[in-house]
Structure 1
C-alpha cells in the first residue's frame, strides 16, 4: 500500500494535475474568509465547502492519470485491483491534508476571529468530513466508472450541487447550516463528528461501488 501511495504521489506531482484544485481551493478560501471577524464556525463552514469542491476535483483528476494499459500494469504489480483503488483514495486524502491545514489557519491570518482550541477541532473535523464526502463523489465520477470525461463531469457537478444546496441533506448541507447558524463550537462538535462518521461510511460505499463497476467494465 505504501508503494502504491508513493507511486500515486509521484505521478500526481509530475503531472501537476493537483494545481487546478489547489488554485480553486485557495481562491475560494480567499474570497469566503478574508477580512472576517467574530466566531469561527461560519468561517470554517466556508473552508469546509472549499475543500469539499477541491477534493472532488482532485479525486477525479488523480484517478484519471493512468491510461488503461498503465493501470493494468499497476494492478498486476499490486496483485489486486481493490488495492490500486485504495492506494489512489489514500493518495487523494493525503493530498487533502495540506489543504485542511491551510483552511484551518488561513482565516486566522487574514481575519480577526475569536480563537479557542475547540474552534480549531471543529474546523478540522468539518473539513475532514467534507474531504471524505468530496472524495466519495470523485470516486463515483472518475474514469473508473465513466469512460467519457464529459459524462463524469456532468455527474460530478450534479452530485456536488445536490450535496451543497439540498436543504438539510447530510453530511455537507446539514453541517454547513448548523455551523452558519451557531457560534458555539462545543455544541457543534458532536454534530460534526456524526457527519464525519457518515462521510466515512459514504466513502466506503463509494469505493465498493466504484470497484464493482470498474471490475465489470474491465
Structure 2
C-alpha cells in the first residue's frame, strides 16, 4: 500500500494538476485572511477553504491515471487498493496544505478576539485551527470521493455535484465541517478556543465510510 501511495503522490506532483487547487487555496487565504486579523477568525477561513480544495484534489487523483496503467496496477494488487491509494494521496496533500496554511495564518494574525480586547493563546489557537482544517479536509475527501468516478462518470455532473456538495457541508448545521469552522468563529467573539475533537472523529468516520463505498464500487466496475 505504501508503494501505491507513493506512486499516486508522485503521479500527482509530476502532472502539475495540483497547481490550480493549491493556487485557489492561496487565493482564499490572501482574500479571506489579512495580516493583523483575529487569529481564530482567520483560521476559520483557512479551514473552510480547504474543503473544496481537498475535494478537487481527490477528483484529480481519482482520474489522473491512464486507463491502461490503472488496469495494470489493479491486476498487480486490486482495484480497491489502487483507488484507496488515490484517495490517500489527495488526503496527504491536503494535510500538508492544512499544516502550511495553519502555520502561516497563525504567524500573521493577531492573537486576540474579534474585538481585539481579549488575548488568545497562539499555540492553542493553532492546534484548534489545524484540527478544524483536518476536519474540513476529511469531509472534503469524502465529498470528492462520492462525486467522481466510480460514483459519477460524467465530468460535468461530477464537477457540479462536487461544488454543490462542498457548499452544503460547509453551511449545513450538524455537519462536522460547519461545526468545526463555527467553533473557531464563535470562539473568536469571546476569545475562547474550542478544540474540535468530536467533529474530527465524525469527519474521520464519514471519510472512512465514503472510502469503503467507492472502493467497493471500484472493485465491481473496475
Instruction: Report the TM-score when normalising by structure 1.
Output: 0.90
Residue 97 of structure 1 and its aligned partner are, at CA, apart by 2.5
Residue 61 of structure 1 and its aligned partner are, at CA, apart by 0.9
CA distance in 2, matches of 1:101, 1:176: 16
Change (3 A) 1:161 1:37: closer
Over aligned residues, Cα RMSD in angstroms?
1.8
CA distance in 2, matches of 1:108, 1:119: 8
CA distance in 1, matches of 2:144, 2:62: 9
User: Is residue 44 from structure 1 mapped to residue 68 from structure 2 by the alignment?
Assistant: no
Alignment of 1:1-218 (within 5 A): 1-38=1-38, 40-77=39-76, 79-114=77-112, 115-166=121-172, 168-183=173-188, 188-189=194-195, 192-218=196-222
User: CA contact under 8 A between 1:119 and 1:185: conserved in structure 2?
Assistant: no
- The residue matched to 2:153 in structure 1 has which SS? coil
User: CA contact under 8 A between 2:83 and 2:215: conserved in structure 1?
Assistant: yes
Paired residues, number = 213
Residue 179 of structure 1 and its aligned partner are, at CA, apart by 1.8
User: CA contact under 8 A between 2:55 and 2:144: conserved in structure 1?
Assistant: yes
CA distance in 2, matches of 1:80, 1:138: 21
Residue 4 of structure 1 and its aligned partner are, at CA, apart by 0.5
Change (3 A) 1:127 1:185: farther
CA distance in 2, matches of 1:187, 1:24: 27
CA distance in 2, matches of 1:186, 1:86: 38
Residue 75 of structure 1 and its aligned partner are, at CA, apart by 0.8
CA distance in 1, matches of 2:194, 2:107: 23
CA distance in 2, matches of 1:108, 1:18: 24
User: CA contact under 8 A between 1:36 and 1:107: conserved in structure 2?
Assistant: no
CA distance in 2, matches of 1:141, 1:210: 10
Residue 113 of structure 1 and its aligned partner are, at CA, apart by 2.9
Provide, for residues 96-155 of structure 1, a one-character-per-residue CA deviation record: whole Å limited to 9, x for no partner.
132112211222343333442211110111111111110111111122222211111111
